[in-house]
Amino acid sequence: MAIPAFVLNGPNLNRLGKREPAIYGSTTLDEIAARCVAAGKRHDLDVTFRQSNHEGVLVDWIHEAADTGVGGIILNAGAYTHTSVALHDAIRAVGLPVIEVHLSNVHAREAFRHHSYISPAAAGVILGFGAASYELAIDALAGLIRR
Ligand code: DQA
């Protein structure tokens, strides 16, 4: 049976395709969602893909994942990556495997993007491969869940 997996996206990622294409590429979030669902199918993962601009909604979705038998989470928390103790705590609170994802290589950008509150609570981090970061994360999450 397919194992449920969440792909959660934070603020401004709904603007992908139009937002700073030199940094984030021209792929839209809807296209990334379709690619995640397809990659999930290859691994027998049932992918639910969501985006919110609100920190507390992301916290609620992490709790929901734990309460509904989701096997693991891929999280691009956007700018909340660099600010959110609440998301760090939520990940620690649920104990599910979380893979942190970024389209851009945040370490090659401004210093304020070099620190992540997500990384210390995450099983691993994939960044810098544009939209493909998400598909790599699905591969990694499938490996983690089945291990
Ligand atoms: C991002 C990187 C963050 O620093 C930024 O705030 C984003 C997108 C990425 O996917 O590259 O919103 O998470």
| DSSP secondary structure letters along 22-55 | HHH-S--HHHHHHHHHHHHHHTTEEEEEEE-S-H
| DSSP secondary structure letters along 12-27 | TGGGTTTS-HHHH-S-
pTM above 0.75, yes or no: yes
Q: Write the CB contacts of 133 (distance below 8 Å, at least 6 apart in sequence).
A: 101, 102, 103, 126, 127
Which CATH number fits the domain that encloses residue 137?
Answer: 3.40.50.9100
Q: Which of 7, 32, 74, 81 is the best mutation target for the ligand 1 pocket, counting ligand atoms within 8 Å of the beta carbon and taking the most?
A: 81
Q: How far is the CA of 50 from the centre of ligand 1 (A)?
A: 16
Give the structural domain span for 64. Answer: 3-146
Query: Is the CB of 53 inside a 6 Å radius of any atom of ligand 1?
Result: no
Based on the residue annotation, tell me whether 24 is a catalytic residue of this protein: yes
Mean pLDDT of successive 10-residue stretches along the chain, which has 147 residues: 96 96 95 98 98 98 98 98 98 97 98 98 98 98 92
Give CA–CA dist 137/45, Å, rounded: 12
Yes or no: say if 95 and 67 are a contact pair by the CB < 8 Å rule: no
The pLDDT, as a whole number, for residue 60 is: 98
Number of structural domains (the chain) is 1
Give CA–CA dist 23/84, Å, rounded: 23
Query: Is the CB of 104 inside a 6 Å radius of any atom of ligand 1?
Result: yes
Name the residue with the closest Cα to ligand 1, atom 13.
78
**Nearest Cα to Cα of residue 69 among 5, 7, 126:** 5
Taking residue 25's Cβ as centre, other Cβ atoms within 10 Å add up to: 18
Based on the residue annotation, tell me whether 115 is a catalytic residue of this protein: no
Active-site choice (88, 102, 117, 134): 102
- Which tens digits make up the pLDDT trace of 126-146? 999 999 999 999 999 999 998
